[in-house]
Structures are given as C-alpha cells and as structure tokens.
C-alpha cells in the first residue's frame, strides 16, 4: 500500500494512533506513568489504529447517508439506550441480592461495551429488516 493511495483521513488517524502508542511506551519507560496505566494508553492507540484501518478499507458506497440509514441508526440508538437501562437495573439487582459485588470499574465496563455492541447489533439487524417507521 503506497502512501499516495492512503486516504488523508485514514493517514491522520494512523499517524495519531502511532503517536499515542509510542507515547504510552515512552511515558512508561521514563516513569511518568505506572505499569497499570501504560497499557490503557497503548490500548487507546491500538483502537485508533483499527479505526484508521477501517477508514482506509471502507468503500465509497458506505459513505452515503440517506434518510433511511439515518432513521435506522436513530432507531438502533434508541433501542440500545433503552436496553442499557435494563442492563443497569439488572446489574443493580445482581449487586444487591447476590454474593457477587461489582466494582465501579466492572459496572462501567459492562455498560460501555454493552451499549456499543447492542447499538452495532441493532443497526445491523434493523438494516437487514428494512425501513423502520
């Protein structure tokens, strides 16, 4: 893959992700961040790297956002938001009435990943089903 064939936006994201990854390594090596924080910084850079790769290999047809796609995305977001409330209520019940005690970090991680995964899954499902109305 030549530099000339890389999209500008993808190149910016890829370069910034490399800076974040290297920054995490350098900050850890110099002792500015502890061994527990450095992997988080580097994982942010790796996530940005995946976004840059996805931008690079996305076709031009996927960039088109018509009214149907907007409605599907908004419906998926609304359903995801509502289902996240249910997950939060279940986490509260689990924490109160079982022997499992969840930390704030665990709860926030579960909610964060559930919101992202459910929105993606619902958008995919609604897109296959057709128009929402």
Q: What is the 3-state secondary structure (H, E, C) of the chain?
A: CCHHHCCHHHHHHHHHHHHHHHHHHHHHHHCCCCCCCHHHHHHHHHHHHHHHHHHHHCCHHHHCCCHHHHHHHHHHHHHHHHHHHHHHHHHHHHHHHCCCCCCHHHHHHHHHHHHHHHHHHHHHHHHHHCCCC
pLDDT confidence bin for 59, thresholds 50/70/90: low
> What is the pTM (predicted TM-score) of this model?
0.58
- Give pLDDT tens digits for 2-43: 444 667 777 888 889 999 999 888 888 888 888 788 888 888
- Give pLDDT tens digits for 82-124: 999 999 999 999 999 988 888 988 899 999 999 999 999 999 8
């Amino acid at each position: 893959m030549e530099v000339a064939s890389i999209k500008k936006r993808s190149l910016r994201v890829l370069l910034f992700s490399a800076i974040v990854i290297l920054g995490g390594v350098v900050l850890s090596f110099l002792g500015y961040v502890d061994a527990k924080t450095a992997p988080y910084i580097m994982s942010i850079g790796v996530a940005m790297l995946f976004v840059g790769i996805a931008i690079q290999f996305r076709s031009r047809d996927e960039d088109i956002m018509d009214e149907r796609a907007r409605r599907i995305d908004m419906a998926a977001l609304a359903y995801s938001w509502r289902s996240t409330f249910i997950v939060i209520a279940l986490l509260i019940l689990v924490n109160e009435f079982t022997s499992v005690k969840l930390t704030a970090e665990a709860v926030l991680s579960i909610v964060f990943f559930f919101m992202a995964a459910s929105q993606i899954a619902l958008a995919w499902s609604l897109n296959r089903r057709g128009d929402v109305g």
